[in-house]
Chain A
Amino acid sequence: MQKLLFPLLALFLLTALPACKDDTKPDPTPTGFGDVVIEFENRAGDETLVFGKDYVNAAGETVNFSTFNYFVSNFVLVSTDGTEYVVPKDDCYFLCNGDDADSREITLTNIPAGDYSHIHFMIGVDSAKSVSPVSERTGDLDPAGAASGMYWSWNAGYIFVKVEGTSPQAPVEPSTGQRIFQYHTGLFGGFNSPTLNNLKEVHLDAPHEAAEVRENSEAPHVHMYVDVLEMFTNPTNISVAANPTSHAGPYSKTVADNYADMFSIDHVHNH
């Protein structure tokens, strides 16, 4: 009986396998662990974002960028069969710097093999980490290191998204004499009495193929678009003439609500 079953099974698998690809039945469950690489490509609408170049925002104003930095954290990968993999939190805080392409290619390591078609993550640094002891703030979270420009020391917390630039429509800033705009958005909800909470969850589906994570094979690349112009619109148009700056004030909610949808997956590249 057993002797008979094996060749039969082999035969079945042989015939079934090529068909699998077509009607997208999953491979026999892969085992082991692999990595996922996520590349964040900063965009301005239909183009790759270039600092120092003029673009037009939704309010019709000319905007020219010099800074575009953001924190992403708390990644969760969801496979085609709905299984969630929560990337261990402590390996999972990334500061993406607009002027440092390396910082915008991040690797999630030790991911159980599988086909991941959905990803969610947070823009910013969650409240638990935002109040964690200094000894746990290393690497990208070091307030006197990598994060020194992305940390508010007077309102202790990280700046989640920092966008700066110039615009002929922006009013003249008295101390520099320049027409600048500056949107520094943070606020995680407060530690012992509440503050505004601007943390945003992003949920994205892979548009075509899922990211196929396999043991001992090259990591799939998730190519993400991050459109800085999305910060200026949907749901509210932001005008650099009317609101050239926003820091830890009530207006930061408008900015955060807008940038919540600036991420999208352009494609996934499996090797």
Chain B
Amino acid sequence: MNKILLTGALLALLLSSCEKEDKKEPFVGPQLPSNFPQPAYDLSANPVTEAGFALGKKLFYDPILSRDNTIACADCHISFAAFTHPDHPTSHGIDNLFGKRNALPVQNMLWRTSFFWDGGVPNLDLVPLNPIQNPVEMDESPDVVLEKLRNHPEYPGLFREAFGSEEVNTARFLQAMSQFMAMLVSADSRYDHYVRKEPGGEMSVEELAGLAVFQQKCAACHATDLFTDQSFRNNGVIDDFSLDKGRAEVSTFSEDIGKFAVPSLRNVAATAPYMHNGKFKTLESVLDHYAGGGVKDSPTLDPLLRQSDGTLGIPLSTAEKAQLIAFLNTLTDETFLRDARFAQ
């Protein structure tokens, strides 16, 4: 008891002296919003520290991770676009090569149960290996990346600060990257304030009407306050899957052909273009797609997009579309998009 009191007093002293000296705000790890479900990532196995976060951030912004030191993670994941690649329907990587898929946002990663459009990766820690090895993204062998970091003037010291010694190994490298990505929590939109009944959560009649339409017609897939049920579905964007079979690329099963991960809609106004292949430039065109304009039929098309009269899509009136757009705009989290801790 005495010991606790003493350390408590010491800590307080330390903290207060810190504040006086450099007026630096104490580091706060990722905050888990009350309107989110339990995170999938085990933070206790990789607690986020100030030094770990700083190291992860440096790595995220460093082209040293690519074969010719030209492409950083942040080139395709830009902070003000919720860490997507604006204006790029599909990713643009090393040697000016283009991938086949649209960059996903890097936000609320702690809650993801699988990663990428096909769900090929189970754990955030394993994610960076994919873009690093991808021949059209960074095209580097991860063991070479570790070697480059070991021979770098700064990194071994940063690893010491984060992990206690200068050893650069796979687990530390990946866990540092996860510490940066773990911090990218977006839950400060107007909609969040509304559901948490906080100040700043006023929603207009139009927006509330949009929320009601959304709950009725979209939330079966874009579920919970993460706006995804994390399943794989075919919403009729394409019917020729020869270039990209989606979930079947990893499962091999024909019943998965054309199914893609249901994306979160947080900050959706800032993440154009849309869909796995970047087919749509605007939210209006997405809604026109759903409303029946362009839903493509194929054997795995989701049953929710087949109406009882045989028509494809989700019926939406012009008024409902406007309401939905108004609602989707309330999911923009300016605090997150402009957070100086995350930008370069």
A and B physically associate: yes
Interface string of B58-79 (1 = CB under 8 A from A): 0000000000000000000000
Interface string of A147-172 (1 = CB under 8 A from B): 01001111110000000000000000
**Residue A252 at the chain B interface, CB threshold 8 Å:** yes
Contacts of B125 in A (CB 8 A): 133-134
**Residue A51 at the chain B interface, CB threshold 8 Å:** no
**Residue A222 at the chain B interface, CB threshold 8 Å:** no
How far does the Cβ of A130 sit from chain B's closest Cβ, in whole Å? Answer: 9
**Residue B159 at the chain A interface, CB threshold 8 Å:** no
Contacts of B133 in A (CB 8 A): 153-154
A154-B141 contact in complex given A134-B171, A142-B170, A144-B129, C-beta closer than 8 Å: no
B249–A248 CB distance below 8 A: yes
A153–B251 CB distance below 8 A: no
A192-B129 contact in complex given A156-B121, A252-B252, C-beta closer than 8 Å: no
B126–A156 CB distance below 8 A: yes
Interface-centre pick from A133, A248, A250 (highest chain B CB count, 10 A): A133
Contacts of B126 in A (CB 8 A): 134, 143, 153, 156
A154–B116 CB distance below 8 A: yes
Contacts of A193 in B (CB 8 A): 114, 119, 232, 247, 251
Contacts of B195 in A (CB 8 A): none
Contacts of B173 in A (CB 8 A): 144
**Residue A217 at the chain B interface, CB threshold 8 Å:** no
How far does the Cβ of A250 sit from chain B's closest Cβ, in whole Å? Answer: 5
**Residue A52 at the chain B interface, CB threshold 8 Å:** no
A133–B114 CB distance below 8 A: no
B130–A134 CB distance below 8 A: no
**Residue B219 at the chain A interface, CB threshold 8 Å:** no
B129–A153 CB distance below 8 A: yes
Residue of A nearest to B170 (CB): A144
Contacts of B123 in A (CB 8 A): 131, 133-134, 156
**Stretch of B142-150, B181-189, B272-280, B335-343 that contacts chain A:** B142-150
Which bracket fits the contact residues of A? 20 to 34
**Residue B122 at the chain A interface, CB threshold 8 Å:** yes
Contacts of A250 in B (CB 8 A): 252-254
Contacts of A135 in B (CB 8 A): 45, 171, 175
Interface string of B215-259 (1 = CB under 8 A from A): 000000000000000001000000000000001011111100000
- Interface of A, secondary structure class, is loop
> What separation, in Å, do the CA atoms of A30 and B175 have in the docked complex?
47
B132–A153 CB distance below 8 A: yes
B142–A148 CB distance below 8 A: yes
Interface string of B27-51 (1 = CB under 8 A from A): 0000000000000001001000000
**Residue B134 at the chain A interface, CB threshold 8 Å:** yes
A195–B114 CB distance below 8 A: no
How far does the Cβ of B115 sit from chain A's closest Cβ, in whole Å? Answer: 9
A248–B171 CB distance below 8 A: no
Residue of A nearest to B45 (CB): A133
A143-B122 contact in complex given A153-B132, A195-B251, C-beta closer than 8 Å: no
Contacts of B121 in A (CB 8 A): 153-156
Interface string of A162-206 (1 = CB under 8 A from B): 000000000000000000000000010011111110000000000
Question: In chain A between 57 and 110, which residues have their CB closer than 8 angstroms to a CB of chain B?
Answer: none
> What separation, in Å, do the CA atoms of A193 and B174 have in the docked complex?
24
**Residue A137 at the chain B interface, CB threshold 8 Å:** yes
For this complex, 21 residue pairs linking A to B, each with C-beta atoms less than 8 Å apart, are A134-B126, A134-B170, A135-B175, A143-B129, A144-B145, A144-B170, A144-B173, A144-B174, A145-B146, A148-B141, A153-B130, A154-B121, A155-B120, A156-B123, A156-B129, A191-B122, A195-B253, A249-B252, A250-B252, A250-B253, A252-B252
Known contacts A148-B143, A195-B253; can you find 4 more A-B pairs with CB under 8 A?
Answer: A133-B171, A145-B143, A145-B170, A196-B253
